[in-house]
């Protein structure tokens, strides 16, 4: 299982999408798989589905077909391509309103057994039996995905059967919830008199995440920049809140979010679309369409910038004990459903921060005020509205305001002077080259790349039309040479801005303020939960 978080490097989403792994030259693809779907046209009926669009994606040798399931409204995108490594995924928009980690725990728990496969952990049993080239489940800020890839047709069908039953008909047993989420357990299982503590797969995982000051910093910055809805909480789960989640709440979350009307299916490769649709339609026939109440609203814009102070423990191994502060300025950008505008914003993020000749690298990193960029520096498009952040690690407390001043001055300088044409052209050339050098498991990475935009009713096919986007960008830049400067002014000279400072408290030599409060609350929660348990039920955890 994997929880997705914002990257800690400055990059564009498009470049990440096209350069996943050590590159290899794209082989010559035949047309057989694409020819099978080219005859389809909007309005055609196919195994309980209606075809909405059929569109060529020449940059990736794909013919894309968008369909809607007639009975439930589930969306399906098929990317026909003569690639034997076929991919399937089903993605749900999951929008928690608290930090109990319910989508993360549910992602784990549904794979512990289903109606058709009531055995213990069928997912992990398939790992040792399947010929899959990829199997996993992923939790992001506002979606949960169940993807796999396989080169064998029968194996692909077997995996689809396991995944579909797990997603839509899981058992969600209470003991599985205790195993994957949280439970009370003796520290020594052989000694009933030993102290009782909290345990659980997700609970322990998120304890590790929150023990890392950089992870805590990025999470706090996101929560403060987008506080009004689901991004204001911790989708993966805050250990101080995970233990308040109940088994009943977990089942309720599944019933609300894991419905076909809230699902987006993706298939990729050379296997026939018809067989995919026939199987999925049979699995969904017992459902009827509903209106999922899981939309994410736009963040209300602030009238003035805000500040956030985060406390953590000093690093005893730091080269300079006086330089342990992290500071960044975070900006809200475009809606990610506007594919072209989001592309421009990602280009800005790259040009502003990537490489030793970039404006912020020269102004911040080379200033000597800090050791490197802050962990959240760069352009991020995993939320409904994209984010750009820039800052420094390992700064003296006395230099914090100077860092913020340099950021403001650098923005003004870029608005005035713009970017070197050679850097812009080099970036566009790099994107073009990356289309010809696509890494392994292309289908899975394509599914990940499209997930966030599609999750908010964006156009996933348009997102794949890289050549068209590049042509338009070049034309617009030719017509208006100040295009990028105007965009910098539009996005980075606004009031929806968060100035985030992480500072070390010397009195917490080994524990951050978060860790200290976590330990205190854990002790109280253990006592409270212990007294709520009967002796018989407690025996389940120590037997």
Identify the pLDDT of residue 536.
Answer: 45
Nearest to residue 130, comparing CAs of 95, 158, 102, 110?
158
Lowest-confidence segment of 367-371, 403-407, 523-527 by average pLDDT: 523-527
Q: Is-contact 333 413, C-beta < 8 A?
A: no
Q: What is the mean pLDDT of residues 520-543?
A: 52
Top pLDDT among 178 and 527 is at: 178
Identify the pLDDT of residue 523.
Answer: 59
Identify the pLDDT of residue 541.
Answer: 45
In the DSSP assignment, the letter for residue 71 is T
Q: What is the mean pLDDT of residues 350-365?
A: 97
Top pLDDT among 509 and 346 is at: 346
Q: Does residue 136 surpass a pLDDT of 70? A: yes
pLDDT digits over 19-28, tens only? 333 333 344 5
- Token pair for residue 297? 């609203």
Instruction: Give me the active site residues, please.
Output: 107, 180
Identify the pLDDT of residue 510.
Answer: 32
Q: Does residue 354 surpass a pLDDT of 60? A: yes
Q: What is the mean pLDDT of residues 304-332?
A: 85
Q: Is-contact 283 298, C-beta < 8 A?
A: no
Q: Give me the percent of the chain exceeding a pLDDT of 70.
A: 86
Q: Is-contact 112 173, C-beta < 8 A?
A: yes
Identify the pLDDT of residue 502.
Answer: 79
Can you tell me which residue has the tokens 């929806």? 496
H helix or E strand, kind and range, residue 334: strand 323-335
Q: Is-contact 296 235, C-beta < 8 A?
A: no
Top pLDDT among 353 and 13 is at: 353
Alpha-carbon span 321 to 319, nearest angstrom? 6
Confidence of residue 404 (pLDDT cuts 50, 70, 90): very high
Distances (CA, A) of 319 to 81, 213, 322, 377, 501: 52, 17, 9, 22, 20
Identify the pLDDT of residue 372.
Answer: 95
Q: Give me the percent of the chain exceeding a pLDDT of 90.
A: 74
Confidence of residue 519 (pLDDT cuts 50, 70, 90): low
Nearest to residue 453, comparing CAs of 380, 384, 379, 388?
384
Identify the pLDDT of residue 121.
Answer: 86
Q: Does residue 102 surpass a pLDDT of 60? A: yes
Identify the pLDDT of residue 163.
Answer: 97
Helix (H, G, I), strand (E, B) or coil at 296: coil
Q: Does residue 516 surpass a pLDDT of 70? A: no
Q: Does residue 542 surpass a pLDDT of 80? A: no
**Paired sense of beta strands 86-93 and 306-312, if any:** unpaired
Identify the pLDDT of residue 504.
Answer: 56
Q: Does residue 517 surpass a pLDDT of 90? A: no
pLDDT digits over 74-88, tens only? 999 999 999 999 999
Can you tell me which residue has the tokens 């609970």? 203
Q: Is-contact 383 226, C-beta < 8 A?
A: yes
* Complete domains list, the chain, with CATH: 306-504 (3.30.830.10)
Distances (CA, A) of 317 to 201, 296, 311: 30, 42, 18
Alpha-carbon span 494 to 302, nearest angstrom? 9
H helix or E strand, kind and range, residue 379: strand 378-380
Residue 100 backbone zone (phi > 0: left; psi -120 to 50: alpha; other: beta) = alpha
Please return the burial class of 10, using the count of CB atoms within 10 Å of its CB with bins 0-12, 13-18 and 19+: buried
Q: What is the mean pLDDT of residues 44-70?
A: 97
Distances (CA, A) of 286 to 56, 160, 251, 518: 34, 18, 19, 44
Mean pLDDT rounded to a whole number for the chain: 88
Please count the CA atoms within 13 angstroms of the CA of 411 that sit on its side-chain side.
22
Q: What is the mean pLDDT of residues 506-512?
A: 35
Q: What angle do CA 67, 266, 458 make, to 5 degrees?
A: 70
- Token pair for residue 55? 């569109």
Q: Is-contact 162 90, C-beta < 8 A?
A: no
pTM of the model: 0.89
Identify the pLDDT of residue 525.
Answer: 60
H helix or E strand, kind and range, residue 256: helix 247-257
Q: What is the mean pLDDT of residues 41-56?
A: 98
pLDDT digits over 219-230, tens only? 999 999 999 999
Q: What phi, psi does 393 have (nearest 5°)?
A: -95, 155
Identify the pLDDT of residue 31.
Answer: 85
Confidence of residue 40 (pLDDT cuts 50, 70, 90): very high
Q: Does residue 192 surpass a pLDDT of 70? A: yes
Helix (H, G, I), strand (E, B) or coil at 498: strand
Nearest to residue 280, comparing CAs of 439, 32, 44, 47?
47
Confidence of residue 248 (pLDDT cuts 50, 70, 90): very high
Top pLDDT among 511 and 415 is at: 415
Q: What phi, psi does 59 have (nearest 5°)?
A: -60, -30
| Residues contacting residue 278 through CB under 8 Å, at least 6 positions apart | 47
Nearest to residue 411, comparing CAs of 338, 523, 493, 480?
493
Identify the pLDDT of residue 12.
Answer: 37
Identify the pLDDT of residue 188.
Answer: 87
Alpha-carbon span 365 to 69, nearest angstrom? 52
Q: What is the mean pLDDT of residues 525-535?
A: 54
pLDDT digits over 86-99, tens only? 999 999 999 999 99
- Token pair for residue 137? 């489940």
Q: Does residue 529 surpass a pLDDT of 90? A: no
Alpha-carbon span 464 to 467, nearest angstrom? 9
């Amino acid at each position: 299982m994997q929880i997705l978080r914002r990257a800690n490097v400055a990059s564009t989403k498009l470049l990440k999408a096209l350069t996943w792994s050590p590159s290899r030259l794209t082989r010559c693809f035949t047309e057989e798989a694409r020819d099978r779907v080219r005859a389809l046209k909007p309005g055609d009926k196919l195994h309980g589905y209606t075809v909405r669009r059929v569109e060529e994606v020449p940059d990736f040798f794909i013919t894309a077909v968008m369909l809607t399931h007639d009975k439930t409204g589930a969306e399906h995108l098929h990317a026909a391509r003569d690639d034997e490594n076929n991919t399937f995924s089903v993605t749900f928009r999951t929008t928690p309103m608290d930090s109990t980690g319910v989508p993360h725990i549910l992602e784990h728990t549904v794979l512990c057994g289903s109606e058709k496969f009531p055995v213990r952990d069928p997912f992990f049993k398939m790992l040792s039996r399947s010929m899959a080239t990829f199997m996993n489940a992923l939790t992001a800020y506002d979606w949960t995905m169940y993807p796999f890839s396989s080169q064998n047709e029968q194996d692909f069908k077997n995996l689809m059967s396991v995944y579909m039953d797990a997603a839509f008909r899981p058992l969600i047993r209470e003991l599985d919830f205790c195993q994957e989420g949280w439970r009370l357990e003796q520290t020594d299982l052989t000694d009933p008199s030993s102290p009782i503590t909290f345990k659980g797969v997700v609970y322990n995982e998120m304890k590790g995440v929150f023990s890392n000051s950089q992870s805590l910093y990025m999470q706090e910055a996101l929560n403060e920049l987008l506080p009004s809805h689901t991004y204001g909480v911790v989708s993966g789960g805050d250990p101080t809140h995970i233990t308040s989640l109940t088994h009943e709440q977990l089942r309720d979350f599944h019933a609300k979010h894991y419905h076909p009307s809230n699902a987006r299916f993706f298939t990729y490769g050379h296997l026939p679309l018809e067989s995919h649709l026939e199987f999925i339609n049979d699995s969904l026939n017992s459902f009827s369409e509903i209106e999922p109440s899981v939309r994410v609203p736009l963040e209300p814009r602030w009238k003035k910038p805000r500040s956030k102070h985060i406390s953590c423990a000093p690093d005893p191994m730091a080269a300079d004990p006086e330089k342990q502060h992290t500071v960044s300025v975070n900006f809200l950008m475009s809606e990610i459903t506007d594919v072209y505008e989001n592309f421009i914003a990602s280009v800005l993020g790259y040009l502003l921060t990537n490489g030793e000749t970039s404006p912020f690298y020269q102004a911040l990193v080379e200033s000597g005020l800090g050791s490197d960029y802050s962990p959240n520096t760069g352009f991020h498009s995993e939320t409904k509205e994209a984010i750009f952040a820039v800052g420094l690690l390992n700064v003296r407390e006395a230099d914090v305001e100077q860092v913020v001043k340099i950021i403001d001055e650098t923005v003004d300088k870029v608005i005035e002077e713009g970017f070197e044409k050679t850097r812009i052209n080099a970036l566009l050339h790099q994107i073009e080259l990356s289309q010809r050098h696509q890494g392994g498991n292309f289908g899975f990475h394509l599914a990940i790349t499209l997930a966030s935009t599609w999750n908010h009713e964006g156009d996933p096919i348009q997102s794949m039309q890289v050549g068209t986007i590049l042509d338009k960008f070049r034309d617009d830049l030719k017509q208006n040479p100040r295009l990028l400067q105007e965009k910098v002014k539009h996005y980075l000279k606004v009031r929806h801005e968060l100035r985030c400072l992480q500072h070390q408290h010397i009195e917490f030599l080994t524990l951050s303020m978060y860790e200290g409060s976590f330990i205190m609350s854990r002790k109280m929660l253990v006592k409270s939960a212990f007294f709520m348990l009967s002796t018989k039920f407690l025996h389940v955890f120590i037997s």
